[in-house]
Structure formats: structure tokens, C-alpha cells
């Protein structure tokens, strides 16, 4: 994961000065650096001269439009993400831009929250292609953690910090967030990586079966025990044992687990021999264990043994900026797995994926994309390829046409008044500099007067 904290630098390309001013002002508020270009040709020259983390470019410009500039920019630097913006919203232009290599597509007036999410994901995607990162670093077999959001980068930083230690780690988060993936990362980034990684779902077994599964049993310990069996603790010797859904264990099982954590010893079911074990224990739960302790459902002493380091995996709805990365990753993976010749996900479909609340988190997204890839008939996955529950949600939650954001209006007003001051109140000259008609300028000034300027 990158450790640098340098400011992002964005190249803003738009032939309207008002929009360039608004965006560069906004980036300054975000503590980002930016530069301007008023046409595609100037943008291409700027990319040749200096490094940029992303390019935000209008598609319609008089001198070299956005599509042509996009091709030339990627010829110079194919790694730089280009986000196309336009007031002319259509599927055709969106698909054309993405097919030519645009990272994403936004419509004016811009939603500033989505703009920031899109840029952060784009810059994270670039880091992924240039260096090992949260979103691209494999840590065991085919497993990957996907995420360029700040919350996931912080989580990855904690994983790298904690993995080399022997600390017991409690992984918390809703079902489907990827807690097992985090446990796997902790194992494969530790000095125990060459040892076994054993997983046990505590919620899937009855108490008696779980005891036998974890500690093993002697021959004749119970009906059907026709031979000795080593438990998961012994099988994980020298490696890591991951106990998923630890909050579902009974008080009796909690007492037995506490002994192993304290003394690193255990006995098989029906046996007298004490076995020493060298195992790192990782646990996970979707419950609030502190509340379970208060209610008497979970042992306080075990809780504090498990609670040495807590890693909380955010819900997918809390890191929506990662949805495009996850969707693209799953889309490509399932297309390859199922031998499908596909091109991508339509902007409309990606918009729905980005807005849907995902109660089942990453697991639900993965299943939705897998279904879509298997059933899709054309080159692009569109809304009709999503599960019916998501389609119905999209029908009921179509985005409303929003008015121009207040921040844009304020930025536009500030620029107009500043230009009038610079021209000594000459409205014709101000309109020329602003690249708008005199009539448009007069109408805007009239509206400012009505608002009390």
C-alpha cells in the first residue's frame, strides 16, 4: 500500500472558464492541486510536460474535443485515468468514451460527492496498476482485497502492521463484508504464511460437533468415534486458526477456548493427554460482543483475550467509491471463468450498482455480477442483467433531476463579480472574458440583485 501523503494533482480541461474556476476552487477546498486547460490540444501538451494523477475533461470543446484528446493522452501515458464530463448525457457517448479508455463518465451539473468518489477511485486504480496496493495485491492463492477508499486503505495498513505479530485479532463487520478475506491476509502476510490456514465456522456446528472439530477426539469418545481424530487446533500447528462467528459459541465452549488462549494447551474429547499447540488465533463476528458481554451471553475474560486488536471491515454502503473497482474485478474474473467475450458494464448499470444499498455487502455484489455475466447476451452488462430485486429497487429509486449545486452557483457568482471588478464594471468586456453572451451576464446580474447580492 502506498505510504505517500502528497496531494493529488488534477488536470481540469473545459472550454468554459466558469467551470474551470469552479472545479479548481473546489479542489483547493479539498486540499488538492490542480491545473487548467481550455481545450484538448492544451491538455495533451500539459500531460506531456508534467505528471498528473487524473484528468477531468469535458467531451465537447471547439479545439480538439474530449474524445480526440483522450486518445492522444493515452498514447502519451496509458496509465493516467481520464474522467469524461458532459452536459449531453447519452448511452452512446458514455459507451464510446469508456471503450476508448476513459475511466468513468460524469454528467453536468456535477454531483460533487460523486465527483470526489470517482476521482479517488480513479487515482486508486492508477496506483494499483503502478505499484502494489490494497486493490491489487495478492496474498494467498487467488484472494485479493479490492478497495481504493480511505477506509480500506487504512484497514490494509493495519493488516500489514499487525500481520507480522502474534497478536490475537478480532475481525468485526456485517455478513458479506469479507472478514474471512481479512483473516487470510493476516495469515499470508505473517511469518506463519508457510504453515496451515485452517477455517472453522462456529455457527455451522452444534456444540458437541464443534468441540470435536476443534479439539479432536479419542477412539470411543462417543457413538461413531471408531478412531482417534486430531482437531483443528492440532491441524493448524505452526499456522493460523480462524474461528468465524465466534459470537455464536456457548458458554461451555467459550471456557474451553479461553484455556487454549491462556495456556496454549488442550485435551481431545474423551482423552486425558494434554497437548501443547503453537497456533495463532484469529476470530470474527457480526455481533456486538461488548453488548453480548453486558447481556451475559459472552464471557468477559474471553472477550478481552480476543479483543487485543480489532479490525472493523466497513459495509459496502460505507465505501461506495470502491463499487466500480469491485464490479470491474468481479466482471473480468467471471467473464474469464465462464469463457465469455464481453466488453464492460454500461454507465447506467454502474450507476445503479453505485447507488444500491447492498444489504448483503460484497458477497451480494459478487453474486449479482456473476449472475449478470452468465446471463448477459450482448457485450455489455446492463441493468436488465441484474437480479430482479435490484432492478425493482432501481425502478423505485431513480435519481431525480437535481438543480445546479449551490457550490457551483456560488463559484460562478464569485467569478462574475470578480471579472466585473477587473473590467471596471464594463459588462460587455466582462461577458467577453467569461465567454458568455452579454444578455446571459445581464440575466445573472439581475438574479443576484433579486437575491440581495
Would 79 be classed as within a structural domain? yes
379 vs 202, which has greater pLDDT? 202
Mean pLDDT of the chain: 84
Maximum separation of any 2 CA atoms in the chain, in Å: 100
Q: Note the pLDDT tens digit of each residue in 385-438.
A: 999 999 999 999 877 655 445 556 677 777 888 888 888 888 888 887 777 788
In angstroms, rounded to a whole number, what is the distance separating the alpha carbons of residues 173 and 314? 6
Would 89 be classed as within a structural domain? yes
- pTM, to two decimals: 0.62
First to last CA, the chain: 48
Would 277 be classed as within a structural domain? yes
Would 395 be classed as within a structural domain? no
DSSP 3-state assignment of 168?
Answer: coil
129 pLDDT above the threshold of 70: no
The pLDDT value given to residue 346 = 86
132 vs 21, which has greater pLDDT? 21
The C-alpha angle 43, 45, 51, rounded to 5 degrees, equals: 85
Q: Count CB atoms within 10 A of the CB of residue 349.
A: 21
Q: 155 with 284, same domain?
A: yes
Q: Which of 355, 386, 417 is the last residue of a domain?
A: 386
Print the domain residue range for 117. 9-130
Q: Count CB atoms within 10 A of the CB of residue 11.
A: 23
Q: 287 with 197, same domain?
A: yes
The pLDDT value given to residue 195 = 94
Q: Tell how many helices (H) and how many strands (E) occur in the chain.
A: 19, 18
Would 143 be classed as within a structural domain? no
In angstroms, rounded to a whole number, what is the distance separating the alpha carbons of residues 437 and 450? 20
CATH number at residue 299: 3.40.50.300
Q: 355 with 413, same domain?
A: no
- Phi, psi angle pair for 245, to nearest 5°: 55, 50
Q: 199 with 323, same domain?
A: no
Q: 261 with 345, same domain?
A: no
- CB-neighbour burial class of residue 29 (10 A; exposed 0-12, middle 13-18, buried 19+): exposed
Would 254 be classed as within a structural domain? yes
* Radius of gyration of the chain, Cα coordinates, nearest whole angstrom: 28
DSSP 3-state assignment of 78?
Answer: coil
Contacts of 93 (CB under 8 A, 6+ apart): 59, 86, 105
- CB-neighbour burial class of residue 435 (10 A; exposed 0-12, middle 13-18, buried 19+): exposed
In angstroms, rounded to a whole number, what is the distance separating the alpha carbons of residues 252 and 211? 10
Q: 307 with 202, same domain?
A: yes
Query: Where residue 144 falls among pLDDT bands split at 50, 70, 90?
Result: low
Residue whose C-alpha is closest to residue 145's, from 103, 201, 189: 189
The pLDDT value given to residue 447 = 80
Q: Which of 283, 312, 341 is the last residue of a domain?
A: 312
Q: Count CB atoms within 10 A of the CB of residue 346.
A: 21
**For the chain, how many structural domains are there in total?**
4
Q: Where is average pLDDT lowest: 14-23, 133-142, 215-224, 267-276? A: 133-142
Cβ contact 370:330 at 8 Å: yes
Q: 355 with 277, same domain?
A: no
Q: Which three cell numbers stand for residue 258?
A: 479461553
Q: Where is average pLDDT lowest: 242-246, 296-300, 342-346, 389-393? A: 342-346
Q: 238 with 204, same domain?
A: yes
187 vs 344, which has greater pLDDT? 187
Q: Which three cell numbers stand for residue 418?
A: 470578480
Q: 154 with 201, same domain?
A: yes
Would 396 be classed as within a structural domain? no
Containing H/E element for 94? helix 91-99
In angstroms, rounded to a whole number, what is the distance separating the alpha carbons of residues 13 and 119? 14
Query: Where residue 138 falls among pLDDT bands split at 50, 70, 90?
Result: very low
The pLDDT value given to residue 200 = 95
CATH number at residue 98: 3.40.50.2300
107-113: average pLDDT = 79
Q: 358 with 221, same domain?
A: no
CATH number at residue 362: 1.10.8.60
Would 299 be classed as within a structural domain? yes
Q: CA–CA distance from 195 to each of 168, 188, 234, 236, 336 (Å)? A: 17, 9, 12, 7, 31
Q: 112 with 225, same domain?
A: no
Q: 126 with 228, same domain?
A: no
346 vs 433, which has greater pLDDT? 346
Amino acid at each position: 500500500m502506498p505510504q505517500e501523503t502528497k496531494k493529488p494533482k488534477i488536470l481540469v480541461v473545459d472550454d468554459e472558464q466558469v467551470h474551470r474556476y469552479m472545479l479548481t476552487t473546489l479542489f483547493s477546498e479539498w486540499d488538492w492541486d490542480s491545473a487548467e486547460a481550455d481545450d484538448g490540444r492544451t491538455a495533451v501538451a500539459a500531460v506531456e510536460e508534467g505528471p498528473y494523477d487524473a484528468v477531468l475533461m469535458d467531451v465537447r470543446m471547439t479545439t480538439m474535443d474530449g474524445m480526440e484528446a483522450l486518445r492522444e493522452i493515452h498514447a502519451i501515458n496509458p496509465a493516467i485515468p481520464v474522467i469524461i464530463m458532459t452536459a449531453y448525457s447519452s448511452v452512446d457517448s458514455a459507451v464510446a468514451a469508456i471503450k476508448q479508455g476513459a475511466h468513468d463518465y460524469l454528467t453536468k451539473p456535477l454531483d460533487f460527492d460523486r465527483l470526489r468518489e470517482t476521482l479517488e477511485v480513479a487515482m486508486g486504480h492508477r496506483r494499483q496498476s503502478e505499484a502494489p496496493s490494497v486493490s491489487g495485491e495478492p496474498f494467498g492463492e487467488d484472494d485479493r482485497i479490492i478497495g481504493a477508499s480511505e477506509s480500506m486503505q487504512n484497514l490494509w495498513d493495519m493488516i500489514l502492521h499487525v500481520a507480522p505479530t502474534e497478536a490475537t485479532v478480532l475481525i468485526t463487520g456485517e455478513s458479506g463484508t469479507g472478514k474471512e478475506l481479512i483473516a487470510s491476509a493476516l495469515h499470508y502476510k505473517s511469518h506463519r504464511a508457510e504453515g496451515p490456514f485452517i477455517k472453522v465456522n462456529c455457527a455451522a456446528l452444534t456444540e458437541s460437533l464443534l468441540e470435536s472439530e476443534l479439539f479432536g477426539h479419542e477412539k470411543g469418545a462417543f457413538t461413531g468415534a471408531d478412531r482417534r481424530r486430531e482437531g483443528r487446533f492440532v491441524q493448524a500447528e505452526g499456522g493460523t486458526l480462524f474461528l468465524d462467528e465466534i459470537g455464536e459459541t456457548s458458554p461451555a465452549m467459550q471456557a474451553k477456548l479461553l484455556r487454549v488462549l491462556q495456556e496454549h494447551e488442550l485435551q481431545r474429547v474423551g482423552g486425558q493427554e494434554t497437548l501443547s499447540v503453537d497456533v495463532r488465533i484469529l476470530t470474527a463476528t457480526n455481533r456486538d460482543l461488548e453488548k453480548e458481554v453486558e447481556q451475559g451471553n459472552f464471557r468477559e475474560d474471553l472477550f478481552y483475550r480476543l479483543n487485543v486488536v480489532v479490525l472493523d471491515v466497513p459495509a459496502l454502503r460505507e465505501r461506495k467509491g470502491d463499487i466500480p473497482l469491485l464490479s470491474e474485478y468481479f466482471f473480468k474474473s467471471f467473464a474469464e471463468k465462464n469463457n465469455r467475450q464481453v466488453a464492460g458494464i454500461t454507465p447506467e448499470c454502474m450507476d445503479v450498482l453505485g447507488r444500491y444499498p447492498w444489504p448483503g455487502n460484497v458477497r451480494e455484489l459478487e453474486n449479482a455480477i456473476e449472475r449478470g455475466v452468465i446471463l448477459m447476451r450482448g457485450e455489455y452488462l446492463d441493468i436488465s442483467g441484474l437480479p430482479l430485486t435490484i432492478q425493482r429497487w432501481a425502478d423505485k429509486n431513480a435519481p431525480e433531476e437535481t438543480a445546479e449545486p449551490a457550490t457551483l452557483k456560488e463559484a460562478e457568482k464569485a467569478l462574475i463579480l470578480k471579472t466585473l471588478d477587473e473590467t471596471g464594471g464594463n459588462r460587455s468586456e466582462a461577458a467577453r472574458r467569461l465567454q458568455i453572451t452579454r444578455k446571459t451576464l445581464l440575466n445573472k446580474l439581475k438574479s443576484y440583485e433579486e437575491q440581495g447580492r
